[in-house]
Amino acid sequence: MNSRLMILWVALLIYGATSGFAQEARSRQADAEQAYFDQADVWTDKANDAFFAKEYGDAEQYYQKMIAGFGKLSAQTRKARTEFKSEVYYALARVQAMQKKKNPALRSFEQAVADGYTAYRSILNDPYLAYIRGEKRFQTVMERLKDKSFHAILQKANGYAPSQRRDTLPRFTYMAPNDRHLVRVREYFRLDSVAGAGDELSKIKNILTFVHNTIEHDGSSDSPKVYDAISLAEACKDGSRGLNCRGLATVLNECYLAMGFKSRFVTCMPAVYVDDCHVINAVYSVTLDKWVWVDPTNNAWVTDEKGNMLSIQEVRERLRQDLPLVLNDEANWNNREKVTANEYLYDYMAKNLYYVNCMLRSEYNAESTYNRANYVCLIPVGYTCDDLKGKTTTSDDQWFWQSPYTER
């Protein structure tokens, strides 16, 4: 072997070795980071238990552990998960304030907002921050935050516009309740008994509450591989796990379809996606002649000041116009924590209603094979983001929310 080939051979050996070492290091880092987030789920549960038991010092220790561990993650992961960090710092500020630790609570609160915590109205009404609310540092942060809140961002979004070529848009379709799979869903969940003998709206609410009470919300568990209502329910049957919001909305969607309701599960998205969105349902009420908002994660529906159930579109516009919104009294998370309108609507859902998407075909096991072409997104005029690639997009809200009985 001549000297030139020998040098090349040695260089390749060195490159292969260093490349292998680099891949192994990346693998170890990925494993360590996954282990951290798994442990963070455990710490979060323990912190929540301590919080509800008013053992605020114990809760503080778990949040401090999460923050210390977060600092050891890669720069890329820390950047991608700043929303997680902001939520931990906010929770830490609350338990420190409850222990009358003024300066630590203020520092934690300031850090939470610096990392992107923008739930303005919830902060304004959070009773656990009462001890520091009168402090100038707190008020200075709130003044800066007011115009950066998700509610303010939603109010500044562009409006919608009718399409000039509706004939080029696809059709929404809904599986018939006599499909053999939906018949199984109806029998498996005993939906005739669940729905009851009342009017249409009472049946819609009864089925919603049944799904909410039957399967816990569990945002930390991976989705089961088989994604139909029965398989999802079976995966949770032993109580060892629950479903994320998408899984719950899938179960509810198939239950509604099985009972003859036109229904969609709707992904509600922020303007800039970090690591959180929310999935709820829209079910068509013939009585009201519109789609109504139902959320199985929180057993929630929304009304106006007169008690009329509202659609996703109506809630979004009322948030934009600062019109009254009322959350049902039964709204809760896992039957453990009451959900308030300020927290749920004006902060969380104001973030997640910048644009929405749903599947064109609402059917049994709809997402078993993911295909972007099966989704349509309703977006404000002029909006774009990477999530829209390969999907049908429209700013025609009237087309998107048209009656399933008079479509086109």
DSSP state of 387: G
One-letter-per-residue 3-state SS of 81-135: CHHHHHHHHHHHHHHHHHCCCHHHHHHHHHHHHHCCCCCHHHHHHCHHHHHHHCC
If one counts the domains in the chain, the total is 2
The last residue of one of the domains, among 98, 127, 148, is 148
pLDDT mean over 43-52: 93
d(CA 338, CA 5): 72
If you write DSSP's letter for every residue of 11-28 in order, what string do you get?
A: HHHHHHHHHHHHHHHHHH
pLDDT in tens, 199-233: 999 999 999 999 999 999 998 777 777 889 999 99
Residues 170 and 298 in one domain: yes
Same structural domain, 95 and 195: no
Q: How far apart are CA 294 and CA 302, in angstroms?
A: 8
Residue 212 parent element (H or E): helix 200-214
Same domain, 144 and 166: no
Strand pairing category for 263-269 and 278-285: antiparallel
Compute, in degrees rounded to 10, the torsion defined by CA atoms 272, 33, 241, 192.
20
Where residue 111 falls among pLDDT bands split at 50, 70, 90?
Answer: very high
154 belongs to a structural domain: no
pLDDT in tens, 316-373: 999 999 999 999 999 999 999 899 998 899 989 999 999 999 999 999 999 987 777 8
Q: Scanning the structure block, which residue is given the tokens 């945002």?
A: 219
> Are 280 and 212 a contacting pair, CB within 8 Å?
no
Is 102 among the domain residues?
Answer: yes
Question: What would the DSSP string read from start to end of 286-299?
Answer: TTTTEEEEEBTTTT
In this prediction, residue 187 carries a pLDDT of: 98
In the prediction, which pLDDT does 24 show?
65
For residue 73, give Cα distances in angstroms to 20, 24, 32, 167, 323.
21, 16, 8, 50, 43
Query: Is the same domain home to 110 and 175?
Result: no
- Model confidence at 148, pLDDT cuts 50, 70, 90, reads confident
Q: What is the pLDDT of residues 240-285, one digit of tens each?
A: 899 999 999 999 999 999 999 999 999 999 998 767 899 999 999 9
In a domain, 406, yes or no: no
Same domain, 87 and 197: no
**One domain, residues 236 and 311:** yes
Q: Could you tell me if 144 and 177 lie in one domain? A: no
Are 177 and 111 found together in one domain?
A: no
Residue 63 falls within a domain, yes or no? yes
Rg of the chain in Å (alpha carbons): 24
**Residue ending a domain, choose from 120, 148, 176:** 148
- Ramachandran bin of 131, using left for φ above 0, alpha for ψ from -120 to 50, beta for the remaining angles: alpha
The residues, any chain, with a CB within 8 Å of residue 284's CB and separated by 6 or more, are: 261, 262, 263, 290, 291, 292, 403, 404
User: Lowest-confidence range among 1-5, 51-55, 287-291?
Assistant: 1-5
The residue-averaged pLDDT of 364-384 equals 90
Q: Which of 100, 126, 148 is the last residue of a domain?
A: 148
**Domain boundaries, position 101:** 3-148
Q: Is residue 74 part of a domain?
A: yes
The answer to whether 319 and 304 have CB atoms below 8 angstroms apart is: no
| Structure confidence at residue 347 (pLDDT) | 86
CA distances from 77 to 16, 35, 196, 385 (A): 27, 13, 48, 21
On whether both 106 and 211 belong to a single domain, the answer is no
- Would you say residue 275 lies in a domain? yes
- Domain containing 93 — which CATH number? 1.25.40
Report yes or no on 32 lying in a domain.
yes
User: Is residue 234 domain-shared with residue 102, that is, in the same domain?
Assistant: no
| CA dihedral sign of residues 46, 298, 267, 123 | negative
Same structural domain, 176 and 132: no
Domain annotation covers residue 50: yes
Find out whether 166 and 399 touch, Cβ atoms under 8 Å: yes
Shared-domain flag, residues 214 and 236: yes
Where do we find the tokens 């050996």?
13
Tell me how far CA of residue 361 lies from CA of 21, 63, 69, 225, in angstroms.
47, 43, 43, 20
